[in-house]
């Protein structure tokens, strides 16, 4: 079905209707909104802010690492820097980023719904996020924690730094994450437009759904874990303290039961974005829609069975190490299925090499190498050598920055016209993408080498002969930072002074492109009936129809 501007407006309603951006312009109309799109935008602004904060911490610690000996900050200061970098990046950026910012905006649109299932709960999620963030920031201002974002006991239950407010902040942030996941699950179950059955769901919806399942099941365990450590700090309960019969490894079990599935919370939505954009920019139906959809659920499920691979050298039993090692091998299969299908989608497609596509390319490269090093690390015998070295650091940055952040940027550029009705400068988009991909490689490939040569992570000082690689890594990080800064600048300029975009500049077949860009508050004047396949780029007239109810 050819979708014209007229059709989009017909679905959206009369053009006299204001867009969601202009429907109420007071601060209160934003602070008290029920509109999922506004909640999404507020999340987007917040996560971008915290991304830069986390990035500053990263640049500061990389600056210290230019010198092997004491330099710039003392050891305690350095410990605080990498702890805060981790906490801000993981809890304030990666976990909420794609789901809360883009998922919120796009999910109801993709389902033909007017809003998420519980709009007020959605707003509550945002305020909980802010509350947790404020607590964490306050803790930072007071000096921050020095435990690493992993809060291993008994150090975290005894160190004198500001661990307590950070833990409380993390608990509240977890709540926000849970409520968002809950909201999305119920939305997908109960607010699909007529005709939109499960096997017609856009692939982004599948990935958000799988992510939400993880959020609901895993995050409470993190909640109780940080709560117990907080109580330990205050009450000396000794649950994880060996001197009182406690077991520090128990903390690690409880922590990683959440934190391993958490890495799938961080990457699955990105995979959903890639599925959407790969189809749109290859102008081709997804190769293996069902495989991609089911593999999202597969990752969510199998991801829960692998947490012990973070604890191979922690002191867990050999039985556990063996079991987790084997189980960890399975989870890579699903990502491989996706990569295969994405490449299959691009093959013989009509590629449109725009900024989102540049990020897709980056994503594919990073997830393959990041993923393969992950499988290597999950091999117990190899992990003995690599555990707690820069090899691990490089591995997870390949996935979390290389994959997740690339996907975030792809989403940002792909949905920028949809969300704001403006066009970003394509040339600068490609320049920034190149800088980022280059800078990223320059930052983290030296870290693989450093790790393999034996440089431990989180160490304040290192042997002289590692300096060259460290300097290279810092140089790369600076380049990376510049790339991100350029994006911030041109997007801000485009927002204010950019040219008006068309309703569907990418000619994408995504359902969210059916309505106006930016959409009106109520999304659709009448609920559409969707019987068409998602991502359908077949040139002949497809059998399905999108009609207004």
Partner 1 sequence: MSHEADALGLPPGILAHHFSSLARQNEAMRLGMWLFLATEVLLFAGLFTGYSVYRFQFPEAFAECSRHLELTLGTVNTLVLITSSLTVALAIHYARTDRRRAAAICLVITLLFALSFLGIKAVEYAAHFHERSLPGKYYAYEAVKIPGAAMFFSVYFLMTGLHGLHVIAGMSVLSWILRRTLQGRYSSRYYTGLELGGLYWHLVDLIWIFLYPLLYLI
Partner 2 sequence: MSESGPSGRPTQALHPDDRHDQHAHSALPYFAVWIALLFFTALTYLTGKQHLGTWALAIALIIACTKSTLVALIFMHLKDSSGTTRLVFVTSLIFVGLLLFFTVSDVATRFRPATPAGAPFGTERSQPEGLLEHELPE
Beta carbon nearer to partner 1, 202 or 246: 246
State yes or no: residue 243 binds partner 2 (CB under 8 A). yes
Query: Pick from 217, 291, 337, 471: which binds partner 2 (CB under 8 A)?
Result: 217
Considering only the stretches 89-97, 249-257, 330-338, 473-481, report the one whose residues sit in contact with partner 1 under the rule CB under 8 A: 249-257
Nearest one of 471, 492, 537 to 510, comparing CA atoms = 537
Considering only the stretches 24-32, 112-120, 197-205, 317-325, report the one whose residues sit in contact with partner 1 under the rule CB under 8 A: 112-120
| Residue 317 burial (10 A CB sphere; 0-12, 13-18, 19+) | exposed
- Minimum CB separation of residue 73 from partner 1 in Å reads 34
Beta carbon nearer to partner 1, 69 or 235: 235
Please provide the DSSP assignment of 193-254 as one string.
PTT--GGGS-HHHHHHHHHHHHHHHHHHHHHHHHHHHHHHHHH---TT-GGGT--HHHHHHH
b/e sequence 213-251, b meaning 16+ C-beta within 10 Å: bbbbbbbebbbebbebbbebbeeeeebbbeeeebebbeb
Nearest one of 57, 76, 62 to 155, comparing CA atoms = 76
Phi, psi of 159 (to 5 degrees): -65, 150
> Do you find a cis peptide bond into 322, omega within 30 degrees of 0?
no
Query: Residue for token digits 């497809």?
Result: 542
Read off the tokens for 83: 């702890």
Distance CA 46, CA 265 (A): 18
- What is the 3-class SS of 173-195, one letter each residue? HHHHHHHHHHHHHHHHHHCCCCC
Quick one: what does residue 178 bind among partner 1, partner 2, none, with the CB cut-off 5 to 8 Å set by partner type? partner 1
State yes or no: residue 463 binds partner 2 (CB under 8 A). no
Site size toward partner 1, by CB under 8 A:
42
Beta carbon nearer to partner 1, 253 or 509: 253
Beta carbon nearer to partner 1, 231 or 314: 231
- Minimum CB separation of residue 314 from partner 2 in Å reads 10
Site string for partner 2, 289-318 (x = CB under 8 A): ---------------xx-xx------xxxx
Sign of CA dihedral 385, 388, 389, 393: positive
State yes or no: residue 121 binds partner 2 (CB under 8 A). no
> With contact defined as beta carbons under 8 Å apart, do 514 and 280 qualify?
no
Site string for partner 2, 172-201 (x = CB under 8 A): -----------------x------------
> With contact defined as beta carbons under 8 Å apart, do 123 and 37 qualify?
no
Beta carbon nearer to partner 1, 205 or 407: 205
List the interface residues with partner 1, window 170-199 (CB under 8 A).
178, 182-183, 185-186, 189-191
- Minimum CB separation of residue 323 from partner 2 in Å reads 7
DSSP annotation of 89 reads: I
Beta carbon nearer to partner 2, 53 or 321: 321
Read off the tokens for 525: 């004047």
Query: Pick from 24, 68, 77, 119: which binds partner 1 (CB under 8 A)?
Result: 119
Q: Which residues bind partner 2 (CB under 8 A)?
A: 189, 217, 221, 242-247, 249-250, 253-254, 257, 304-305, 307-308, 315-320, 323-324
Q: Which residues bind partner 1 (CB under 8 A)?
A: 113-115, 117-119, 121, 178, 182-183, 185-186, 189-191, 216-221, 223-225, 227-228, 231-232, 235-239, 241, 244-247, 250, 253-254, 527
């Amino acid at each position: 079905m050819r979708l014209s501007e007229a059709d989009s407006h017909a679905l959206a309603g009369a053009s006299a209707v204001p867009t969601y951006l202009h429907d109420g312009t007071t601060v209160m109309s934003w602070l008290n909104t029920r509109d999922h799109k506004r909640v999404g935008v507020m999340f987007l602004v917040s996560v971008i802010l915290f991304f830069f904060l986390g990035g500053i911490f990263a640049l500061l610690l990389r600056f210290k690492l230019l010198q092997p000996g004491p330099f710039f900050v003392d050891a305690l200061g350095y410990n605080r820097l990498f702890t805060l970098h981790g906490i801000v990046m993981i809890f304030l950026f990666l976990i909420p980023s794609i789901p809360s910012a883009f998922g919120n905006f796009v999910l109801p649109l993709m389902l033909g719904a007017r809003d998420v299932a519980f709009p007020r709960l959605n707003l509550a999620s945002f305020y909980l996020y802010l509350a947790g963030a404020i607590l964490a920031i306050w803790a930072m201002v007071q000096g921050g924690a020095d435990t690493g974002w992993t809060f291993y006991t008994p150090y975290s239950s005894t160190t004198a730094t500001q661990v307590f407010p950070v833990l409380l902040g993390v608990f509240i942030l977890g709540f926000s994450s849970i409520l968002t996941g809950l909201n999305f699950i119920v939305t997908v179950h109960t607010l699909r437009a007529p005709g939109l059955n499960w096997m017609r769901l856009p692939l982004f919806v599948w990935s958000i759904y799988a992510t939400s399942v993880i959020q609901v099941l895993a995050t409470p365990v993190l909640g109780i874990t940080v709560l117990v450590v907080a109580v330990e700090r205050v009450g000396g309960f000794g649950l994880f303290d060996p001197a009182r019969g406690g077991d520090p490894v128990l903390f690690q079990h409880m922590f990683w039961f959440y934190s391993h599935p958490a890495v799938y919370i961080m990457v699955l939505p990105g995979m959903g974005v890639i599925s959407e954009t790969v189809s749109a920019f290859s102008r081709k139906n997804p190769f293996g829609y069902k495989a991609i959809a089911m593999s999202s659920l597969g990752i969510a499920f199998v991801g829960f069975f692998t947490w012990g691979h973070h604890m191979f050298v922690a002191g867990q039993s050999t039985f556990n190490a063996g079991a987790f090692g084997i189980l960890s091998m399975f989870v890579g299969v699903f990502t491989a299925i996706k990569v295969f299908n994405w490449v299959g989608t691009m093959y013989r497609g009509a590629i449109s090499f725009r900024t989102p596509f540049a990020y897709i390319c980056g994503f594919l490269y990073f997830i393959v190498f990041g993923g393969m090093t992950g499988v290597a690390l999950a091999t117990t015998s190899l992990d003995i050598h690599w555990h707690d070295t820069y090899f691990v650091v490089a591995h997870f940055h390949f996935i979390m920055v290389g994959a997740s952040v690339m996907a975030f940027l792809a989403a940002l550029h792909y949905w920028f016209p949809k969300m704001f009705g403006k066009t970003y400068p394509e040339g600068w988009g490609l320049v920034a993408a190149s800088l980022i991909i280059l800078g990223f490689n320059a930052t983290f490939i030296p870290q693989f080498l450093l790790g393999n040569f034996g440089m431990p992570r989180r160490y304040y000082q290192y042997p002289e002969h590692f300096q060259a690689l460290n300097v290279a890594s810092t140089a790369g990080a600076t380049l990376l930072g510049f790339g991100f800064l350029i994006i911030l600048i041109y997007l801000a300029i485009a927002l204010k002074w950019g040219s008006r975009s068309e309703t569907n500049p990418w000619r994408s077949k995504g359902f969210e492109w059916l309505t106006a860009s930016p959409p009106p508050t109520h999304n659709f004047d009448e609920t559409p009936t969707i019987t068409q396949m998602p991502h359908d780029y077949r040139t002949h007239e497809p059998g399905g129809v999108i009609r207004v109810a």
